[in-house]
Amino acid sequence: MSVEIKTAKGRRVWDSRGRPTIETEIELVSGAVGRAIAPAGASTGSGEAVDKRDGGDTFGGFDVKAGVAAVNGEIANCLRGLDASDQEQVDAALIELDGTANKSRLGGNALIATSMAVAHGAAAEAELPLWQYLGKGRDDFFLPLPEIQIFGGGAHAGRRVDVQDFMVIATGAKTYEQALEWTAEVYRCAGRIMTEAGLNQGVADEGGYWPAFVSNEQALDYLVRAIEGAGFIPGEDVAISLDIAATDFGKAGRYQLSADKREVDSDGLSEMLLRWIERYPIVAIEDPLGEDDPEAMAAFTAAAGDKVEVIADDFICTSASRIEEAHRGGACNTALIKPNQVGTLTETKAALDRSRQLGWESIVSARSGETEDTTIVHLAVGWGVKQLKVGSFSRSERMAKWNEGLRVAETLGQQGGRLAPRKSFPWG
């Protein structure tokens, strides 16, 4: 059967914020079909691939008719006849067609939806699930350890607290299924104690509780209480991970802490975070300093990097060259991998490969504006990434991904889904 691309069809669908986004459907000459949807971020790095939006008044300027038209026109014409099993060739054609450094002409959203759809089409032609197609030749598949939001803050929750994500990692779990079970108990307990205290304002962007905390540290205190209340030992069974998203509230080494009603410099923010690491069972901190504060990021990594994962998100934007630069400068030790930040799967894999070559850890991540698309789960399993960050343990755009992991584990014949060995993680 032929893996030649016959058609590419774009359509406008809707994400978890009720905003338009792009779905691409690829059909091969053989009749095999692949389909994927582009997500969208809220706090975005300056180096990210640019979503193509229509502007104007409709849907607050977020419509994607031009991006859909690009898929149905230029992109479809460019891909017709190409070999879907040659992902590098397909992505190179997309990059050349766009012709900009940040994917702004055709749109990073149009390109990533198309790139992922082509991979799904090739996998369908091979009669394999995407994770198995991507991991051809491997026989050591495992499930990624979930990193799951309990409280949402920052840009995801009206800035009631400054930290964007207060998350947990079931560091003591033996299987993927057990990690989900433990997190479900922590999530349930957190909701109960917040409701009892009158601190729950609803649900944040990624499904975590929207808190009415008076300080960032109060959120950490309640998270520890939730872990203990669910019957787990903080730091041994279940630990804390934070996404500070400092670029979102800092500029030129000055940071506005709204929850604490004060401004701090780079040293002040770093000192606060280092105190938290000493006081709370924290094993990972994402974007602790701003993307425009590389020296401070390097200093923080030197101080904390032997204790926690210092995760680069806005700082690297899933770019192999930015990862190289960060490593050379001594900043961070873990790469957050978001396909839509860079625009194609080939570039995403290049960033992952470079991080591994440099000895970094890696985490495949969803975005705050998500859909039912489960491609990132398949990327994590197929590429052998040890951790997966999706959001919280509620809302179907999140649960679709956690549930897909359970299906993969079942297909593998693994009872509950084998995780990478604990000793292979920094906290092992």
- Tokens at 299, concatenated: 């200093």
Predicted local confidence at residue 43, as pLDDT: 64
- Cβ neighbours around 221 below 10 Å, total: 14
Q: What is the DSSP string of 87-119?
A: HHHHHHHHHHHH-STTSTTT-HHHHHHHHHHHH
User: Could you tell me which residues come within 8 angstroms of residue 170 by beta carbon, excluding any fewer than 6 positions away?
Assistant: 145, 146, 178, 179, 182, 183, 237, 238
pTM of the complete model? 0.96
| Both structure tokens of 135 | 């991991």
Q: How far apart are CA 333 and CA 327, in angstroms?
A: 8
Per-residue pLDDT, 158: 64
Residue 46, pLDDT score: 76
Bridge pairing between strands 387-392 and 145-152: parallel
Q: What residues are labeled active site?
A: 206, 338
Which one, of 405, 414, 351, 341, lies nearest residue 377 by Cα? Answer: 405
Residues in the chain predicted with pLDDT less than 50, given as ranges, are none
Amino acid letter, residue 169:
I
Q: Which of 371, 415, 389 is closest to 150 using CA atoms? A: 389
**How far from 17 is each of 39, 62, 112, 234, 343, CA to CA, in Å?**
10, 11, 19, 33, 21
pLDDT digits (tens, 9 = 90+) for 14-36: 999 999 999 999 999 999 999 99
Q: What is the pLDDT of residues 366-400, one digit of tens each?
A: 999 999 999 999 999 999 999 999 999 999 999 99
**Own/partner pairs, 52-60, CB within 8 angstroms, 24+ separation:** 52/104, 52/105, 52/106, 52/107, 52/108, 52/109, 52/110, 53/107, 59/19, 59/20, 60/19
